[in-house]
Chains A and B, each alone.
Chain A
């Protein structure tokens, strides 16, 4: 270790050590002291998260770049580590989520050790720790080997976490699919590094930065990186693992996966294309933009059709990754066409949305976990009325819903607004195709946003509002305070990032300086109150004002209107005079999304089933009707199944080699020999 490693890197090491300790505690405190496991393990995890935030925040605020080496790995290649503003930013993101789940986890995980399907807890703790460690170290990696080691470690531990409740076949299947795609994706990433290493002469990132690539090879490297990292991020059409894997993992892990892990893919794309390959080309941006648009639109449309809350959230991750990619794509297009400042704006929008999504998706998954914890239900159509039983959870979940639907004054809106602003600068480009494509992408983004709002009205409305649909839901209670604290932290951050975007963008300046050698001075020029990304003339937004105004209206309105009013009376809801309403008369999630299903039919493969039970008798009388709808993913049906079938068919055919007949085997040997002799003679 060199003598002059900077404090941020030390902090990062500290965080990594804490993570390891957390794993060790869970491993050691096996049976005797389960409580010790809970608190010790999560305490260390908390420290680790705090350390990450510290390390990342420090580099980001002080604009530092610190490197270090370890005598590990290959004989001619030490482990190179480095922390710079970009990795710092992602460390902060990761650390925040880790802190949140370390608050949330102790109560939540206790549930797994109980009951019929009790699972041993140590694996959960160990792999959670290693999962976090993988991400932490991957972010500070400065050579391809270390990067890949920890990248794969992250993927692998994710697998163990997804398959944690392995008694369910769905979990096993989801985990398998996840790991398969993660593995293939990692190999593709490896190829990208391979190209860079071949041209740069070495595996360290410094050598790769110095590599002189021809446009063709640069594009190949970018393509591999994009496909590989995109698999991890869940971009369409490489997304199929995501909606399977996220729902079945324990909820705090889902939060971590959806909030942090898929962002690592974004980190990878940014790191490789802006930093290592460099010389971003607009063609790449075009691809990224198209993929991003498709991901966001399809993600939200598929989300709308889900009635499993966590699966719905998982599809929204795809949508939001799409939005992030749109920002990145715009940024690449602008940078590739020579508009550095606009490129910077796009990058800021993308990164801003990255951290936003981490926060609100983390919050939502934790909320879904809270519901699961109390009701053991993931199916929306079994919930209902939880706002009365779990008011704080409901409130926090609502914050997440508003934020993800891109509504002011929360954070999701800011980043989407920035993305819109970037897109609106499309006319600055020379190329006619780009100029027409970008507005269409913007329109799709608008459509996505509106559909997301519809989807979250459904999610929140069906789950938390109305009347409880099952008895277990009716008996639900508020979750323990630790879980609320975890969610509350994220909800608060959602609001803060929504209200203080100017400050946030200022803090992100070192990243863009590092990657694009440009910053957005104009965005913050008008003070913290006004966000003016390009100039005050072009666009401005004052989130604090909006917040204050809403609060004012709310407060004043209530003050004025309620003064002197008679006390409120409670009465039955309007039932058209038919007698009282039952919970079965409510709209279900399937019913809610029916109009949209009709409007966008063809996007899904929809199967409708109606099961009718009838009394036998001279005149059959229908006693019960069950209607259900299944939507299938075309990407799975048309993309993955054929590939899988091809492989299996090939495997089936290839069986002819192993006939079991020794003569055949001898013939193989004989023919091989003769062929080779023929070749060489």
Chain B
């Protein structure tokens, strides 16, 4: 199908999807805390807009509700929470050193290609014109995970996590016009609770470890622990004569 032959709505959807993907890349490269949160909010906004557009295009009213939920959560509540917390923990101006940023971005690109490859076998099933966005949503999800892996800060990890959720949500919208309403509500509730819990944890972490650098949380490591040498481990039975 020619891109140009799509309706403007659809073209807009795809455009926003591409922008959301771009946001993921920005997050991946963004070392400073405040811009990271804002980027995340931007991504949420783009997704909300996609939802609204899809709702209008497909005539599914409950997508409006889910768009509203997305807006509340991803654009308002969570960024605001994160902002407040980092302000309280006095780290809104923190920046972390990203090791091998170029490599990370290249990895991100590879992930996009991979997502495309994986989703190729299923996109033809979608009745939607914007079905190729499934690949995008999967890429957003995987990029969120990559963000979690790459970043040391607990806040960044939370953002990565939320970004994964966004990707999934996006997938739900673009592939199937959203999930059933009750599911979406439950989902939203879960995410809300999760974000509050994350907030609680930031304080605990700060209290216990003095920083939010998750790379330092390795008290429970077994890697360098010596093997226990209990009596039954390697006994020579008392054979004597």
Given A173-B235, A306-B241, A660 contacting B149 (CB threshold 8 A): no
Q: What is the minimal beta-carbon distance from A623 to any residue of chain B, in angstroms?
A: 24
The residue from B149, B227, B233 contacting A667, defined by CB atoms under 8 A apart: B149
* Beta-carbon contact of B215 and A663 below 8 Å: yes
Q: Which residues of A contact B225 (CB under 8 A)?
A: 655
Q: What is the minimal beta-carbon distance from A517 to any residue of chain B, in angstroms?
A: 44
Query: Interface code A611-635, partner B: CB below 8 Å = 1, 0 otherwise?
Result: 0000000000000000011111100
Interface residue stretch chosen among A124-132, A143-151, A343-351, A645-653: A645-653
* Beta-carbon contact of A659 and B221 below 8 Å: yes
* Beta-carbon contact of B223 and A659 below 8 Å: yes
The residue from A173, A590, A661, A674 contacting B237, defined by CB atoms under 8 A apart: A173
Check: B222 CB closer than 8 A to any chain A CB.
Answer: yes
Q: Which residues of B contact A651 (CB under 8 A)?
A: 227
Give complex CA distance A318, B232 in Å. Answer: 23
Q: Which residues of B contact A681 (CB under 8 A)?
A: 117-118, 120-121
Q: For chain A, which range describes its interface: under 10, 10 to 19, 20 to 34, or 35 or more residues?
A: 35 or more
* Nearest chain A residue, comparing its CB with the CB of B111: A674
Given A630-B239, A630-B241, A666 contacting B231 (CB threshold 8 A): no
* Beta-carbon contact of A631 and B114 below 8 Å: no
Give complex CA distance A24, B19 in Å. Answer: 77
Q: What is the minimal beta-carbon distance from B137 to any residue of chain A, in angstroms?
A: 14
* Beta-carbon contact of B214 and A630 below 8 Å: no
Check: B238 CB closer than 8 A to any chain A CB.
Answer: yes
Check: B145 CB closer than 8 A to any chain A CB.
Answer: yes
The residue from B148, B234, B241 contacting A641, defined by CB atoms under 8 A apart: B234
* Beta-carbon contact of B222 and A655 below 8 Å: yes
* Beta-carbon contact of A652 and B227 below 8 Å: yes
Give complex CA distance A176, B237 in Å. Answer: 12
Query: Interface code A662-681, partner B: CB below 8 Å = 1, 0 otherwise?
Result: 11001101100110011001
* Nearest chain A residue, comparing its CB with the CB of B149: A666
The residue from B235, B237, B241 contacting A629, defined by CB atoms under 8 A apart: B241
* Beta-carbon contact of B146 and A670 below 8 Å: yes
* Beta-carbon contact of A593 and B241 below 8 Å: yes
Give complex CA distance A593, B240 in Å. Answer: 13
Give complex CA distance A677, B240 in Å. Answer: 59
* Beta-carbon contact of A655 and B149 below 8 Å: no
* Nearest chain A residue, comparing its CB with the CB of B237: A244
* Beta-carbon contact of B241 and A631 below 8 Å: yes
Given A658-B222, A661-B221, A644 contacting B237 (CB threshold 8 A): no
Q: What is the minimal beta-carbon distance from B104 to any residue of chain A, in angstroms?
A: 13
Check: B90 CB closer than 8 A to any chain A CB.
Answer: no
Q: Which residues of B contact A172 (CB under 8 A)?
A: 231-232
Give complex CA distance A631, B239 in Å. Answer: 6
* Beta-carbon contact of B237 and A243 below 8 Å: yes
Check: B220 CB closer than 8 A to any chain A CB.
Answer: yes
* Beta-carbon contact of B222 and A636 below 8 Å: no
* Beta-carbon contact of B236 and A632 below 8 Å: yes
Check: B9 CB closer than 8 A to any chain A CB.
Answer: no
* Beta-carbon contact of A243 and B239 below 8 Å: yes
* Nearest chain A residue, comparing its CB with the CB of B224: A655
Query: Interface code B188-220, partner A: CB below 8 Å = 1, 0 otherwise?
Result: 000000000000000000000000001101111
* Beta-carbon contact of A658 and B239 below 8 Å: no
Query: Interface code A31-67, partner B: CB below 8 Å = 1, 0 otherwise?
Result: 0000000000000000000000000000000000000
Give complex CA distance A177, B240 in Å. Answer: 18
Q: Which residues of A contact B121 (CB under 8 A)?
A: 681
* Beta-carbon contact of A670 and B234 below 8 Å: no
* Nearest chain B residue, comparing its CB with the CB of A668: B149
Give complex CA distance A177, B145 in Å. Answer: 47
Check: A307 CB closer than 8 A to any chain B CB.
Answer: yes
Give complex CA distance A636, B237 in Å. Answer: 9
Give complex CA distance A174, B238 in Å. Answer: 10
Query: Interface code B70-92, partner A: CB below 8 Å = 1, 0 otherwise?
Result: 00000000000000000000000
Given A632-B239, A662-B217, A677 contacting B118 (CB threshold 8 A): yes
Q: Give the residue among B148, B224, B235 with the most A Cβ atoms within 10 A.
A: B235
* Beta-carbon contact of A661 and B215 below 8 Å: yes
* Nearest chain A residue, comparing its CB with the CB of B151: A663
* Nearest chain B residue, comparing its CB with the CB of A305: B241
* Beta-carbon contact of A307 and B240 below 8 Å: yes
Give complex CA distance A669, B121 in Å. Answer: 23
Check: A240 CB closer than 8 A to any chain B CB.
Answer: yes
Q: Which residues of B contact A669 (CB under 8 A)?
A: 145
Q: Which residues of B contact A660 (CB under 8 A)?
A: 217-223
Give complex CA distance A631, B149 in Å. Answer: 56
Q: Give the residue among A243, A308, A645, A660 with the most B Cβ atoms within 10 A.
A: A660
Check: A428 CB closer than 8 A to any chain B CB.
Answer: no
Q: What is the minimal beta-carbon distance from B139 to any residue of chain A, in angstroms?
A: 12
Give complex CA distance A652, B29 in Å. Answer: 38
The residue from A244, A305, A306, A645 contacting B234, defined by CB atoms under 8 A apart: A645
Check: A565 CB closer than 8 A to any chain B CB.
Answer: no
The residue from B142, B231, B233 contacting A648, defined by CB atoms under 8 A apart: B233
Chain B contacts with A in 106-146, Cβ cutoff 8 A: 114, 117-118, 120-121, 142, 145-146
Q: Which residues of B contact A308 (CB under 8 A)?
A: 240
Q: What is the minimal beta-carbon distance from B241 to any residue of chain A, in angstroms?
A: 4
* Beta-carbon contact of A636 and B236 below 8 Å: yes
* Nearest chain A residue, comparing its CB with the CB of B110: A674
Check: A170 CB closer than 8 A to any chain B CB.
Answer: yes
Q: Which residues of A contact B239 (CB under 8 A)?
A: 243, 306, 311, 630-633, 636
The residue from A176, A628, A644 contacting B240, defined by CB atoms under 8 A apart: A628
* Beta-carbon contact of B223 and A656 below 8 Å: yes
Give complex CA distance A663, B215 in Å. Answer: 7
Give complex CA distance A196, B238 in Å. Answer: 40
Given A658-B222, A666-B148, A177 contacting B237 (CB threshold 8 A): yes
Task: Show 29 A/B contacts (Cβ-Cβ < 8 Å), sorted by A.
Answer: A169-B231, A177-B232, A240-B237, A305-B241, A307-B241, A311-B239, A589-B241, A590-B241, A628-B240, A630-B241, A631-B239, A644-B233, A648-B227, A648-B234, A655-B224, A655-B225, A658-B222, A658-B223, A659-B223, A660-B217, A660-B218, A660-B222, A666-B145, A670-B146, A673-B142, A673-B145, A674-B114, A677-B118, A678-B114
**4 additional contacts (CB under 8 A) given A661-B215, A662-B157:** A307-B240, A631-B240, A661-B218, A673-B142
Contacts from B to A (Cβ < 8 Å): 114, 117-118, 120-121, 142, 145-146, 148-150, 152, 157, 214-215, 217-225, 227, 231-241
